[in-house]
Amino acid sequence: MALGLWLCVLVSASARAQAPEARAAGQNVVAVELHLPGGEDAEGLSGLVAVRKGQALMPSLVRRSVERLWATGRFSDVVARAEDVRGGVRLVFQLTPVSRLARLRFDGNQVLTDGELLDASGLLEGGPLDQEELEGAVSGVLQAYQRKGYDSVRVTATQEPLPSGIQVSLHVTEGQPTLVRQVNFSGSPGLPLPRLLAALAMRPGEVFDRVRLDAGLDQLRTVLREAGHWRAQVGTPAVLVEGSAASVSVPLSAGPRYSVRFHGNHRFTAEVLERVLAYDVAEPLDEVVAGRLARRVESFYRHRGFHDARVRPREVLRPDGEVAVLAFDVDEGQPLRVSDVRFHGNASLGSGTLREVLAERIRAGELQPELDLRLQDDPLDVEGRHGRRPEATEPVPDPATVYVEDAWLEATESMMEQYRERGFLSVVVTLRGLTVDARTRTAAADFDVVEGPQTRVKQVVPNGFPDDKAARATASGMGVHEGMPLSFEAVEAARVALERGLGTQGYLFARVTTKSSLEEGDKVATVVFLADKGPQVKVGKVLVQGLTRTDPDLIMANLNLKEGEPLAMDSLTEGQRRLARLGLFRQVDVALADPTRREESKDVVVTVHERPRLDGQVSGGYFLVDGPRITLDTAYRNLDGLGLSLLARGKVNYAGWSAEALSADRRIACEQSGGAASAGCDVELQGLSGLGGRGNLALAQPRLYFLLPFEVGARLDLIAERVHRPSYVSSRLAAAAALDWAVASWFNVSLSYEVENNRLRSRAGVLELLNRADQERLRYPFGDFVLHSLRPAITLDFRDDATNPRRGLVLISSAELTRGISVSPTDVAGNAVPAFPINGLKLASSLSGYIPLGRRASLALSARAGTIVPMETGAQPIGSKLFYLGGSSSLRGFREDGVLPEDVREALHQRLRDCRSLISPTGCSGELKAVLAGQVPASQGGELFTLGKAELRLPALTSLDLGLFFEAGNLWLDRTRLDLERLRYAAGLGLRYMTPVGPLAFDVGFNLDPDEEVNEARTQFHFSIGTF
């Protein structure tokens, strides 16, 4: 009774409120006013009001004005009222601003971090704040603590006004944690108690963490079913909290432990049939599941030619109920081979084409068991000690020779579809039957085909389009034009294309329908495309929500929408993509306001969630080349509100603990020299000299607005780095300016200019291999250099996934023009030598392709090449500008940068022979003595390289892939001595663990032709992130 009275009051109040508005409709608007609290910014609001002074008051315009003001996200309430005044009415909009959260602070929290509490609160700095959201934040923090086992936690909220909004402080009193008093399992556990407790990962005395309890229940269910308890049920635990102690009781019904048995199978082993089952233990076993598994095995047999195969499941339970067997009784029957498939009545489609349709249908239903890659445990087994192992499965027969009734009936539908797409609308294909030879177990199949007349398009009639000629051309482009066979698939494709074309012209509510009329005994047809265009929608107002630091001009410039122009949905999608690529927003949504209402003008609502102004992360790890490394990334975004960001990146590593520094060869060499610098004992890897790293401070502007709509970004970098490479140590200071143009989603162009001061020093083990003439020609690439470089580059990327590609191509090509400003070269020992010009063009290209092979397998191919062309006589590049081969990203059969240039290696062979021919080795240099003693020389780099790579990637486990690779390439210091017949070869295998940022790869590479004269190893181990 009370509810009815309350509804009556609401209805009457609504009627009284609408009466003045109804009476005011049509009257002259004398004034339009916006009422806001004092101090509120009203800029830009008047343009959102669709009602103007002097107009007749129209409810539709008032409604649109209210919707626009509300869509800005700046107001918690918008009220419009009409007041009678002399000469008409005054329209007043009463606006209540939204309170915004300027700052959120936490104190007293120790168990949960500020980031975890921020996620739990659901609040966003810069976002709206009201009492309901504040209460929800407190509740969310309480629940987060309670899930962690802190049931006595208390959270209080305080608010403090700031010029930019409200500061909220959440004060946390964590209290004592709730501890686990006891854990027990009720019902039939099925497994020993220690194993159940280990799976649950919750023991007495630990904090009662509800999050860990949920994960433990899932793990417990998994452990039970993997142990064979396929009907195991884990119920909701009963939790009793008394004071600060909790008792947990987990109800379990493990059920019997199952195993699978097959009876009557002769052609296929039980192991193969069990893989055919592919039973997912996460799905509880019941009669329905058992029946489905039996049908899988039955289908497997029939696609192998056993047409009469029958499989029946049954369950055998031991009397005590502890153990059960899921048995499959297999009646294989005799194999049946279809020796001939004949078609009668077909004229337009050949019998070969129809047989291929039949074979494809059979092939689509085949079940291929997942085959394991077996390891050979016993090496003597290859010589036949245990005899030949039985084949895992028989060869799959030719699909055209297999009779599977369901698949053959489906194939008749596919054949008729083929005919219909060629204009045979009344075609009928039926299976007449099989003629079986019981003695030879072969069969001949007969199909009857009644093609009927072929229908061709007589006329295409577009109706209701803005441009009928253009509509007819669109339909013709999709295969619907006069004289062509009538294909309903082509007609549908043309209809969709026409509807999409209308949408690009602003007809957002357009609908295109088709009508086909047959004439002359179904031999010709007239196809009519009927368009209901609806209004051509124009851009109304662009309303932006969620901005706190970003200038609205940035949004408008990237959207490229102008009021009054035709509106296309593609432009909204493209605008959303452009905004997302700026990197300033966590989320971007561009949509129509009230998209279902048919109007000639539609407002566009842009909703963004800005990223934090200050953001950063710390990461670290161990790298074979760099040693231990720690990295700090920091970003201070959107300094000016137009996207300018300050980026800082710092990286520190200690090469003294790298794989090279810790190698046995270096340890022995340093012991022999007493720790002094010598071949094989490098002081650059000792003490503080082993520190390396890179510091980078950058200003980045994601878009240059005076170049829009071209998506061109700019960047200015200051760089300081110290790099340890196997052949040199580089200490570098640089400043760089770069432009980056995203021409399309698949095409990128960049241009950078850099000035650098580079101090290059030789590493121990770099050989003085050249005679005096060669030294005068090639110089030494060490010393102190001031250079400037110009680097254009292009990228064409057609891969399906940039981090884990399986399909597509990517081409990367770059050029680097480098000239010297100041050149102070030295030799390997650090002695000054005459200066030489630095003026060269470095060219490099890489083309990689990916071919999918099945669900997860793929083949990756890559070809790379590069050369350095001197731009004047005597010009020479420095060591850090040369090419290097060897390592995880190039030839994996060699150590990092370990491939000696081919021409240098030939010269080294001669010098080693000369050294060996001496009676006393005192005439040999220390570097040559080190090589003769077993040290591996470091590569000087080269001016030209070639590299080819092939890798087969196969699935191994859920997130683990196996990679088999083969690589070939070489390096030349003198580019005029290129000889493609002199290549170095490597092969190997590795594991790839799939992650969202790319695969973690561990590879073992083998040098297929190691040069023993220079002590090349046959095997190398590599760890990297990402693959080519």
Closest by alpha carbon to 943, among 859, 881, 856? 881
625, β-bridge pairs: none
- Contact between 977 and 902 under an 8 Å Cβ cutoff? The reply is yes
**DSSP secondary structure code for residue 690 in this structure:** G
Lowest-confidence pick of 24-38, 376-390, 629-643, 726-740: 376-390
Helix (H, G, I), strand (E, B) or coil at 922: helix
* Beta-carbon count within 10 A of 639 CB: 14
Q: How confident is the model at residue 727 (pLDDT cuts 50, 70, 90)?
A: confident
Give the relative orientation of helices 405-420 and 351-364 as an angle to the nearest 10 degrees.
130
Cα 607 to Cα 431: distance, rounded to the nearest angstrom: 59
Whether 387 has a pLDDT exceeding 70, the answer reads no
Higher pLDDT: 767 or 485? It is 485
Whether 16 has a pLDDT exceeding 50, the answer reads no
**How confident is the model over 560-610, as pLDDT tens digits?**
888 889 998 889 998 999 899 898 998 999 999 888 888 888 899 999 988
Sequence-distant (≥ 6) Cβ neighbours of residue 515 within 8 angstroms: 527, 528, 530
Token output for 984: 């170095």
Q: How confident is the model at residue 398 (pLDDT cuts 50, 70, 90)?
A: confident
- Contact between 76 and 95 under an 8 Å Cβ cutoff? The reply is no
**How confident is the model over 603-642, as pLDDT tens digits?**
999 999 888 888 888 888 888 778 899 999 999 998 888 8
Per-residue exposure over 977-999, b if at least 16 CB sit within 10 Å of its own CB, e if not: ebeeeebbbbbbbbbbeeeeebb
Cα 310 to Cα 660: distance, rounded to the nearest angstrom: 64
The per-residue pLDDT for 669 is 60
Question: What is the mean predicted confidence (pLDDT) over 680-687?
Answer: 71
Cα 1001 to Cα 990: distance, rounded to the nearest angstrom: 7
Cα 819 to Cα 785: distance, rounded to the nearest angstrom: 10
Whether 369 has a pLDDT exceeding 70, the answer reads no
The per-residue pLDDT for 164 is 74
**How confident is the model over 269-308, as pLDDT tens digits?**
898 898 888 888 888 888 999 999 999 999 999 888 898 8
Cα 16 to Cα 654: distance, rounded to the nearest angstrom: 79
**How confident is the model over 157-181, as pLDDT tens digits?**
999 888 778 889 999 998 889 899 9
Helices (H), 350-452: 351-364, 405-420
Lowest-confidence pick of 295-304, 514-523, 825-834: 825-834
Backbone torsions φ then ψ of 435, nearest 5 degrees? -105, 110
The per-residue pLDDT for 814 is 97
Backbone torsions φ then ψ of 237, nearest 5 degrees? -70, 145
Report in angstroms the alpha-carbon separations of 670 from 626, 673, 723, 751, 979.
20, 5, 22, 45, 38
Cα 378 to Cα 665: distance, rounded to the nearest angstrom: 34
The per-residue pLDDT for 715 is 96
The per-residue pLDDT for 390 is 45
Question: What is the mean predicted confidence (pLDDT) over 391-415?
Answer: 81
The per-residue pLDDT for 786 is 96
Cα 905 to Cα 885: distance, rounded to the nearest angstrom: 14
Cα 740 to Cα 751: distance, rounded to the nearest angstrom: 7
Sequence-distant (≥ 6) Cβ neighbours of residue 991 within 8 angstroms: 956, 960, 961, 962, 963, 1001, 1002
* Beta-carbon count within 10 A of 724 CB: 25
Per-residue exposure over 367-385, b if at least 16 CB sit within 10 Å of its own CB, e if not: bebeeeeeeeeeeeeeeee
The per-residue pLDDT for 367 is 67
Which domains are delineated in the chain?
A: 19-97 (3.10.20.310), 101-173 (3.10.20.310), 179-253 (3.10.20.310), 257-331 (3.10.20.310), 337-374+392-450 (3.10.20.310), 456-532 (3.10.20.310), 538-611 (3.10.20.310), 702-1025 (2.40.160.50)
Question: What is the mean predicted confidence (pLDDT) over 651-664?
Answer: 82
Whether 692 has a pLDDT exceeding 80, the answer reads yes
Q: pTM for the whole thing?
A: 0.71
Provide the residue type at 302 as one letter.
Answer: R
Q: How confident is the model at residue 371 (pLDDT cuts 50, 70, 90)?
A: very low
Token output for 193: 């108690």
Identify the top-confidence range among 498-502, 688-692, 711-715.
711-715
Whether 663 has a pLDDT exceeding 80, the answer reads no
User: 808's torsion region: left (phi>0), alpha (psi -120 to 50) or beta?
Assistant: left
Q: How confident is the model at residue 481 (pLDDT cuts 50, 70, 90)?
A: confident
**How confident is the model over 405-425, as pLDDT tens digits?**
888 999 999 999 999 988 999
The per-residue pLDDT for 780 is 53
CA 129 to chain centroid, in Å, comes to 35
The per-residue pLDDT for 689 is 83
Provide the terminal-to-terminal Cα distance of the chain, rounded to the nearest Å: 74
Backbone torsions φ then ψ of 145, nearest 5 degrees? -70, -40
The per-residue pLDDT for 256 is 92
Backbone torsions φ then ψ of 544, nearest 5 degrees? -110, 130
Backbone torsions φ then ψ of 587, nearest 5 degrees? -145, 140
For the chain, the average pLDDT equals 85
Lowest-confidence pick of 62-66, 377-381, 399-403, 499-503: 377-381
Pairing status of strand 101-107 against strand 165-173: parallel
Report in angstroms the alpha-carbon separations of 901 from 154, 313, 908, 974, 983.
70, 67, 10, 9, 11
Maximum pairwise Cα distance, the chain? 122
Lowest-confidence pick of 7-16, 109-118, 247-256, 379-388: 7-16
**How confident is the model over 750-801, as pLDDT tens digits?**
999 999 999 988 775 555 444 443 444 344 578 899 999 999 999 999 998 8
**DSSP secondary structure code for residue 625 in this structure:** T
**DSSP secondary structure code for residue 465 in this structure:** -
Cα 315 to Cα 367: distance, rounded to the nearest angstrom: 24
- Contact between 233 and 191 under an 8 Å Cβ cutoff? The reply is no
Cα 529 to Cα 534: distance, rounded to the nearest angstrom: 15
Helix (H, G, I), strand (E, B) or coil at 24: helix
